[in-house]
């Protein structure tokens, strides 16, 4: 009887340990020791990272994205071939290669999958183009169905990110200092108008995040080290706020990178490369305006990308130059960060749960 009870306890403990461990995938640059996309185990109770394994060998997977059901993974290949690749997840967490298509522009740096899982959009930084793809039921990619060239005679485009929101497509163009809106019309996307809000100087919009209801857009500006807050009205968009991402006492060079909202949308986070910090803003959920409350060191160098874990209790930053991933706990009441630990990983630049 005692043996059976002990066995049940051990089984229960093992089940709980397994249940609180989830996979995290890491996109990298492969010009050093990295070989491609890596997989780590993440403990959602302690925030510990472990069991680093190569999921698949591929060239410069600098940005990765899941299908909605997380049975397929997509990666840009920011290398000589300028490719976009599709992979199928195996039961052991490894990735099976499905196919590769052209990104239709140099230096693809971002990919986003729509909520239905049948469309992908890729941003080509050097090429200044945005490419749209149909995704087959088996997860493979068709050749691009539409390619938008943002370059003009007077302006060089650096398309840096794009996202679908219902029937809209939004694009952040760092080179032309604008966020553009495309609308779906007869199964194809058309540019709705010029930039949704006017910018001054050279802020360099890089990444952006939308509130769940789509009424607010927050754009992180690479060159301007700032966040532009935009409100969607019945007929147009308007800027409602503009905030620095840096500490008041920091005067060095800085380039912003990534941006995310907390699950409850009460807090907004952004990454500073140079100051090497995560900035934390408290968000007014009614007005959408921001109030900066913290700049937390990433305990590393060059946080190109970061993510919040599915529980919303942890933030993880990918520090490209120092080659480590830093883990922070999130105070649910204040949104502030506390450093927990870090792990060495070769050239991490994108984190995906």
Residue 8 confidence (pLDDT): 46
Residue 81 confidence (pLDDT): 84
Residue 79 confidence (pLDDT): 80
Residue 9 confidence (pLDDT): 43
- What single string gives the DSSP state of each residue in 146-166? EEEE---SS----EEEEEEET
Q: Which residue in 67, 73, 174 sits closest to 119, CA to CA?
A: 67
Residue 10 confidence (pLDDT): 46
Rounded CA separation 156/143 (Å): 25
CA 156 to chain centre: 24
The pLDDT tens digits along the chain (353 residues) read 555 554 444 444 444 545 699 999 999 999 999 999 999 999 999 999 999 999 999 999 999 999 999 999 999 999 888 999 999 999 999 999 999 999 999 999 999 999 999 999 999 999 999 999 999 999 999 999 999 999 999 999 999 999 999 999 999 999 999 999 999 999 999 999 899 999 999 999 999 999 999 999 999 999 999 999 999 999 899 999 999 999 999 999 999 999 999 999 999 999 999 999 999 999 999 999 999 999 999 999 999 999 999 999 999 999 999 999 999 999 999 999 999 999 999 999 999 99
Query: Are 268 and 285 spatial neighbours (Cβ–Cβ below 8 Å)?
Result: no
SS3 14: helix
Spell 160-173 as b/e; 16+ CB within 10 A means b: bbbbbeeebbbbbb
Residue 12 confidence (pLDDT): 46
């Amino acid at each position: 009887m005692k043996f059976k009870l002990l066995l049940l306890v051990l089984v229960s403990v093992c089940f709980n340990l397994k249940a609180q461990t989830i996979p995290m995938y890491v996109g990298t640059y492969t010009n050093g020791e990295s070989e491609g996309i890596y997989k780590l185990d993440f403990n959602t109770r302690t925030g510990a990272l472990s069991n680093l394994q190569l999921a698949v060998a591929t060239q410069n997977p600098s940005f990765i994205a899941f299908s909605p059901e997380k049975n397929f993974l997509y990666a840009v290949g920011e290398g000589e071939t300028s490719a976009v690749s599709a992979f199928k997840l195996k039961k052991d967490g490894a990735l099976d290669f499905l196919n590769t298509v052209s990104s239709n522009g140099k230096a693809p740096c971002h990919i986003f999958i729509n909520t239905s899982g049948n469309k992908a959009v890729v941003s080509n930084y050097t090429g200044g183009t945005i490419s749209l793809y149909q995704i087959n039921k088996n997860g493979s990619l068709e050749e691009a169905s539409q390619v938008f060239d943002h370059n003009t005679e007077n302006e060089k485009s650096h398309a840096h990110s794009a996202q679908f929101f219902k029937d809209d497509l939004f694009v952040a163009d760092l080179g032309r200092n604008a966020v553009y809106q495309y609308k779906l019309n007869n199964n194809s996307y058309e540019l709705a108008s010029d930039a949704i809000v006017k910018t001054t100087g050279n802020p360099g919009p890089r990444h952006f995040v939308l509130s769940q209801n789509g009424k607010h857009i927050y754009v992180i500006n690479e060159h301007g080290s700032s966040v532009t807050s935009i409100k969607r009205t019945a007929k147009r968009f308007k800027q409602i706020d503009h905030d620095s991402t840096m500490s008041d006492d920091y005067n060095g060079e800085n380039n912003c990178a990534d941006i995310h909202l907390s699950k409850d949308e009460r807090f907004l986070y952004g990454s500073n490369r140079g100051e090497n910090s995560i900035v934390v803003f408290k968000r007014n959920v009614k007005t959408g305006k921001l109030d900066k409350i913290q700049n937390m060191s990433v305990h590393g160098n060059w946080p190109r990308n970061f993510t919040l874990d599915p529980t919303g209790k942890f933030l993880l930053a990918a520090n490209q130059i120092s080659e480590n991933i830093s883990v922070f706990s999130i105070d649910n009441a204040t949104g502030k960060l506390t450093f927990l630990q870090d792990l060495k990983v070769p050239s991490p630049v994108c984190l995906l749960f």
